[in-house]
Each structure stands twice: as C-alpha cells, then as structure tokens.
Structure 1
Amino acid sequence: MDFHNEGLPDNLFELLNGRALHDKQHEAMMLLTTTQDLWPHTAMVSVGEVVAVDRTHLRLAMWPSTTTTQNLERTGQAMLVLFYGAKAYYLRLSVEALADHKAARHPRRRFSAKVDGVREDVAKYADITSGVQIQLKEPGDVLSRWQETIEDLLADD
C-alpha cells in the first residue's frame, strides 16, 4: 500500500484530538527518527505528547536534549507508527521546531509536524488485535501533566 495525502482518518483524528485523555491513557505510539550515523531510532510517545491541530498538522512535545529531539531538529523528518482500530498506521511527518512556550508548566521541546502521508496497513489473513498498550503507574499525576502539556503545545507563543 502506498502513502496517501488526505490527512488523518477520522479515528486517528479523534484519538489525537487532545481530549478525553483518561479514555485514551493506555494508547502508545512509536516515533521513528534517524540518528546522525543513519540508524533508525525509536521513541515511545503517548496521547499526552502528540496532538492533532487539524487533519494535516500535529504538534509534538519532546523531552529536551534527547536523541529524538536532536534527530527532529537535525533532519526535520519523522514517522509516527500507531496500531489502532485493528489497523497499523504509518504517518510521514515533516517537522519544525516551535518557539518555547514561555509559560510552559513542563520542560518540553515543541514541534509542529505536517502530515505528508498516511499509510493504513491491514492483512487479509490476520486481524490486529492490539497495539502498543501502557499502564500508567500514577494515572492522576500523569493525566494532569498530559493535559497541561497539550495546552502548552496548543499555545500560540
């Protein structure tokens, strides 16, 4: 299957809309970047670090000084991989750093990501029954931080 440029399908847009984080707290995704020596690098991200601004634009909140952040700043490219709704999704992203949010409550490097292509992957002979799932150790604290991070991501400054 090829990548299409029609933006996020309805179910991914709903998943990444930044709302009802409690109901989505178990969903995790993989953000793939390329290291300076051209090796793939994978980071696990959550619905508290990725938000859809619209169907073709995301915002990402990354920990500063990580390999992922360095890769994003250097290459301006990433792939977000999700397993959701019995399908695998691969999102090609063109990424650029945003200015730091002056009133940010959590130290994150903010990025704007344009969805350059989406690929939906299903097999005729098998169903995907689950994706990457997580269990938060302190859901109350984490969900509060995620909500604040989403608000910081969507801030205009």
Structure 2
Amino acid sequence: MSRLLGDTLPDDLVAELDGTGLAGKVGQAYLLVTSDEDGMPRPCMLSAGELLAVDGRRVRVALWAGSRTSANLARDGRALLCHVAPRKVVYVRGRVQTLDAGPDLDLDCFELEVGSVESDEHHGMPVTTGITFAVEGEDPAAVVATWARQLARLRAAT
C-alpha cells in the first residue's frame, strides 16, 4: 500500500536528479506516465540526463521534440514520475508547464511542480532491483557529455 510522504521530493531523490555525478548515474531509469487523448496511460522511460530536480518542489524534464509524451504534457498538464530502485519506490504526481530552453535544443522541456509524493514499500517483500538500461554501441562518456549539455539548458530554461 502506498504511503503519502507529502508534497516535497525526498532528499535522496533530489540528489539523484541534481544534474551532478552523471557518469555514476548511467543506467538508472525513471518512468514518466502521462495520459493519451483517449485516457490511456502513456509510459516514457527517462534517464538522469533528462530530469533535473531544481529543488524539492520542481523537476524539469527534457523529452524528444514532438513526442506523444510531450503532446500529452502540453495538452493535459499532469504527470506521474516513478522512481523504482532497490528497497525504494517513489511516485511523484504533479502539474506540468512548458519551458523554453532555446531554439538550438531539439527537445521539448517542461517543469513538473510536485503535488504529492508517495512511497510504496512492502515490509518483508522489498523491491530488489530498479528499472535500468544499458548503453550499447556508444561511448558512455559521450552520453554523459550530451546529458550535461541538456541539463545545462534545462537549468537555464524559462
């Protein structure tokens, strides 16, 4: 059963999404859920290079330009961000607004204002692995460099 933590991100999640130490965050994945026009859920997997916790109440998101998730956020303005890691599951619900990150970034950018944060823990039956991804066929350092550029633009977005 989920337990309400409040309306602020846990400190450890803010640290995970603070845009620093990106090389150590390659592989960690987060799930952003929106609703399509017909009301069906639309999941979107994101990395630490596409999310930036500005503080405990705001998370910025960079998505592929023109994606269905971007369209859903622009239309509906609501989202659920899920973080699944060993012994920790956090659900962040909130309202989203569009950000302008400049014309040279081929991404759609948004800011999620945290409305509620819940934790889902089952004593005696802990989550043992999180949602992860691998970097194949590309240099992880190049991925981290791209993330750093994206996050710099997210930080500066208005």
Structure 1 length-normalised TM? 0.93
Partner of 2:111: 112
- Give the aligned residue type for 2:56: R
For structure 2, the 5+ residue unaligned runs are none
Deviation, structure 1 residue 4? 3.7
The unaligned stretches of length 5 or more in structure 1 are none
Residues 101 and 155 of structure 1 are in contact (CA less than 8 Å); yes or no, is this contact kept in structure 2?
no
Q: Does 1:91 align with 2:92?
A: yes
- The 4+ residue runs of structure 1 with deviation greater than 6 A are none
Q: Deviations over 1:71-96 (max 9, x none)?
A: 00000000001113511110002100
The residue type paired with residue 4 of structure 2 is F
- C-alpha RMSD of the superposition: 1.3
Q: CA deviation at 1:130?
A: 1.1
Q: Is residue 48 of structure 1 aligned with residue 59 of structure 2? A: no
Number of aligned positions between the proteins: 155
Q: Percent identity?
A: 30
Tell me the distance in 1 between the aligned counterparts of 2:3 and 2:86. Answer: 19
**SS across alignment from 1:3:** strand
Q: Are the structure 2 counterparts of residues 14 and 68 from structure 1 closer, same or farther at C-alpha, using a change threshold of 3 Å?
A: same
Moved more, 2-11 or 73-82: 2-11
Q: Structure 1 or 2: larger strand share? A: 2
